[in-house]
Chains A and B, each alone.
Chain A
Amino acid sequence: MAWFRKERKPRQPRREKLEIPRDTWVKCEACGHTDIRDSFERNLNVCPNCDYHRRVRASDYLSILLDEDTIDETETELRSTDPLNFPDYPARLKKSITNAGDQDAVITATGRLAGMPLNVGAMDFAFMGGSMGSVVGEKLSRLGQHSLEKKFPLVIISASGGARMQEGVLSLMQMAKVSAMLSMLAERRIPYISVLTNPTTGGVSASYAMLGDAIIAEPGAVIGFAGPRVIKSTIGQDLPDGFQTAEFLLEHGMLDAVVHRHELKATVGRLLRHMTGKPAATGWSAA
């Protein structure tokens, strides 16, 4: 066994190690494909290998949907309070504001899509799981009021685990509040498109997310009323593959379409043009 005994000296690196920033490489959560961050980002954070739609922030959706330099954020001054004196809620809010920003779980904005004026609400899962409390309800309701006044179509991009427990029954009432606003839009025939992203569950899915004149979802998004764990414990068996995914909902007639993130802007634009009696977009403006 002599050949095992030979002692090796550690090899000296031939050149200085390159300083690579820690977050240069990104690994796809679904297929494990690793690529530089830039190539994920240029692909709107869709995995270049398997098409998995990675979670992106609310502000990213605004840039995906709206024309450059047209985004005007609204109602930025609204802040959550602690109406119930709920245990640890102020601390959790503080932490979320530090980590995710102070816009709470939804950003609302006015902008243009291929030149068409539009109001967009984009939920932010990074802020307390996109949970809907009084601020989310009020921001969306004010955005809707603005749509009513200006006759701007409304788009809401949902990403939420549901109502925010820490504001108790007031969160539950936000479902009624936003739905009341939507019924006013419907009465005036102002189009509302609902975009569902991963995940859209609970009180959000059981209110405005499911009330769009068109309801579209990103591929693979988990969408449902009850969370998979709750259902599993109710029925006491494993859930079928693909249960509660966007594709599952499409098959069961709950969605109009599953749309790739690359096609999101164009699809929303085409739907709105149909619903507002505008001719089809041509040339570059088709987005």
Chain B
Amino acid sequence: MATAAALDFEKPIAELEQRIDDLKRLAGDASYGVALEIEPLEKRLTELRREIYKQLTPLQRVEVARFKLRPFTQDYLDRIFTDFIELHGDRAFREDAAIVGGWARLEGETVMVIGHQRGRDTKDNLKRNFAMPHPEGYRKALRLMKLAEKFHVPVLTFIDTPGAWPGLGAEERGQSEAIARNIFEMSQLGVPIIATVIGEGGSGGALALGVADRVLMLENAVYSVISVEGCAAILWKDNKSIESKERAAKALRITAPDLVELRVIDEIVPEPEGGAHTNHDLAAATLKSTLIRLLDDLRGLRPEKLVRRRREKFLRMGQYIG
């Protein structure tokens, strides 16, 4: 299946996909003739995907992480969980659709799922505010986490945001406080928490859902203290050119393997060959089995032990001399 849109560096893949599609269409019902022709092409396609994705640059990873065809929180919700019932609102100001959350079942067991939600088209993005939450989004998330704690239910978060919204209303209503409060409360929540960076992990806006017993990243996700554009603008006064963004992406060490090395995340969840966007079902299946396995490890732990270990995990982070 040819994708309607492809990332720049995926052009060779898209072209090959197009050729295979054309051949199939030409053959119509008489597919017996072209099967022999198509087979080597499809093999070549798999190889091409592997080759290109094996040597992605950090900036290309950022593009994959932000790609509009990549699975978003709702796509994982549909594929990993059953019986999802969305809960809305922070009970103080309003509903913020940049974060979705609610009860769901993982293999029949109730969990609380909370995640940033991107939009796929302009209309959807306006509703979701490009997955950049206001304080009320974070406060809704916190409300749901406390609800989960009340009923002894694990919390699974999906991180996928460029960052918290920098706007007038957000500042007036305490964006800083909302993020700070979530980070604080997550470090004492008495139920298991697993956080997965599924796309872009943008700074404090990501961390507000990211203080967890296990922190995972999808293979092509990124997690950073500042956007590559922001960093490039500060360092080289140039947030437009590919070269400058590429340098920033490299310098910031934002890819999943980087974060394993820096001991910030626990595990990398592999993506289908050619990125999660090529096969939502497979990406979700892999993530699902990982979540089930990790949750099994955490379920037996007493709340005090869980909290103590979670705090110790974050208290260890950082590198210094002395």
Tell me whether A and B are bound partners. yes
Q: Which of A87, A137, A168, A207 is within 8 Å of B225, CB to CB?
A: A168
Contacts known (A83-B262, A84-B253, A210-B181); A165 close to B234, Cβ less than 8 A: yes
Asked if A234 and B311 sit within 8 Å, CB to CB, the answer is: no
> How would residues 179 to 221 of chain B score, 1 for a CB under 8 Å from any chain A CB and 0 otherwise?
1110111011000000000000001100110110000000000
Q: Which of B175, B235, B264 is within 8 Å of A226, CB to CB?
A: B175
B30 at the A interface (CB under 8 A): no
Of all chain B residues, the one with the shortest Cβ separation from A244 is B171
Closest Cβ of chain A: how far from B240's Cβ, in Å? 14
A25 at the B interface (CB under 8 A): no
Asked if A138 and B180 sit within 8 Å, CB to CB, the answer is: no
Contacts known (A224-B171, A243-B171, A254-B174); A174 close to B321, Cβ less than 8 A: no
Asked if B170 and A225 sit within 8 Å, CB to CB, the answer is: yes
Asked if B320 and A172 sit within 8 Å, CB to CB, the answer is: no
Asked if B176 and A210 sit within 8 Å, CB to CB, the answer is: yes
- Counting contact residues on chain A (CB < 8 A from B), the size range is 35 or more
B224 at the A interface (CB under 8 A): yes
Q: Which of B172, B180, B211, B262 is within 8 Å of A169, CB to CB?
A: B262
B168 at the A interface (CB under 8 A): yes
Q: Which of A168, A174, A183, A209 is within 8 Å of B253, CB to CB?
A: A168
Asked if A239 and B315 sit within 8 Å, CB to CB, the answer is: no
B65 at the A interface (CB under 8 A): no
CA distance A182 to B320 in the complex (A): 21
Asked if A231 and B167 sit within 8 Å, CB to CB, the answer is: yes
Closest Cβ of chain B: how far from A167's Cβ, in Å? 8
CA distance A81 to B262 in the complex (A): 13
B26 at the A interface (CB under 8 A): no
> How would residues 232 to 267 of chain B score, 1 for a CB under 8 Å from any chain A CB and 0 otherwise?
001100000000000100011110000100101000
Q: Which residues of B contact A176 (CB under 8 A)?
A: 183, 187, 207, 210-211, 314, 317
Q: Which of A87, A167, A180, A226 is within 8 Å of B315, CB to CB?
A: A180
Q: Which residues of A contact B254 (CB under 8 A)?
A: 168-169
Asked if B180 and A170 sit within 8 Å, CB to CB, the answer is: no
Q: Which residues of B contact A179 (CB under 8 A)?
A: 180, 183-184, 187, 211
Asked if B204 and A175 sit within 8 Å, CB to CB, the answer is: yes
Q: Which residues of B contact A168 (CB under 8 A)?
A: 224-225, 252-254, 262
Q: Which of A77, A180, A225 is within 8 Å of B314, CB to CB?
A: A180
Contacts known (A83-B262, A225-B176, A226-B175); A180 close to B207, Cβ less than 8 A: no
Asked if B225 and A171 sit within 8 Å, CB to CB, the answer is: yes
Asked if B184 and A183 sit within 8 Å, CB to CB, the answer is: yes
B318 at the A interface (CB under 8 A): yes
Of all chain B residues, the one with the shortest Cβ separation from A248 is B172
Asked if B231 and A177 sit within 8 Å, CB to CB, the answer is: no
A95 at the B interface (CB under 8 A): no
Asked if A163 and B225 sit within 8 Å, CB to CB, the answer is: yes
CA distance A231 to B311 in the complex (A): 33
Closest Cβ of chain B: how far from A103's Cβ, in Å? 12
CA distance A205 to B310 in the complex (A): 22
Q: Which residues of A contact B311 (CB under 8 A)?
A: 180-181, 183-184
Residues 133-155 of B contacting A (Cβ, < 8 Å): none
CA distance A165 to B226 in the complex (A): 7
A22 at the B interface (CB under 8 A): no
Residues 53-96 of A contacting B (Cβ, < 8 Å): 77-81, 83-84, 86-87
B319 at the A interface (CB under 8 A): yes
Asked if A183 and B225 sit within 8 Å, CB to CB, the answer is: no
Q: List 8 A-B contacts (CB under 8 A).
A: A134-B317, A170-B318, A176-B317, A183-B187, A205-B180, A234-B167, A252-B173, A254-B176
* Closest 10 A/B residue pairs (Cβ): A226-B166, A134-B318, A225-B175, A210-B180, A205-B176, A77-B322, A206-B179, A173-B317, A83-B319, A180-B187
Q: Which chain A residues have a beta carbon within 8 Å of chain B's beta carbons? A: 77-81, 83-84, 86-87, 133-135, 137-138, 141, 163, 165, 167-177, 179-184, 186-187, 202-203, 205-211, 223-226, 230-231, 234-235, 239-240, 243-244, 252-254
